[in-house]
Amino acid sequence: MIKVDLREENVITIKGHALFSDFGTDIVCASVSSIVITTINDVMSIDNDAIEYESKTGKVVIKIKKNSDIVSILIDNMILLLESLEKDYSENIKIIRR
């Protein structure tokens, strides 16, 4: 299961594997990867210093360093898209808010 951890202020951790399908054909993993990577690239194209991120196999950590209106919109959109996936694939992705 992919877990999206929104517990820490200004830090988003995405980790795990969806296990929806075989490696290389998993549409949930591909969707999460696409959403997260696109958001990171979009934010960094606007302000390279707005976030820092670390990407390892099965884990991405995004740290928001400058929270402007556009950064908030992009991050909020990423979370909304991930929540939409969670509704359709609740056994494969879970968003944790505290």
CATH code (residue 88): 3.30.70.1490
Neighbours of 43 (CB within 10 A): 23
Residue 20's domain comprises 2-96
- The stretches of the chain forming alpha helices (DSSP H) are 27-46, 69-88
| Predicted pLDDT at 9 | 86
- Domain count for the chain, please give it: 1
H or E stretch covering 11: strand 11-15
- Rounded Cα gap, residues 33 and 4, in angstroms: 12
Global pTM reads 0.93
**Strand, helix or coil for residue 4:** strand
Q: How far apart are CA 20 and CA 18, in angstroms?
A: 5
Q: What is the pLDDT of residue 35?
A: 98
pLDDT of res. 7: 85
CA atoms of 76 and 73, how far apart (whole Å)? 5
Residue numbers in the chain where pLDDT is lower than 50: none
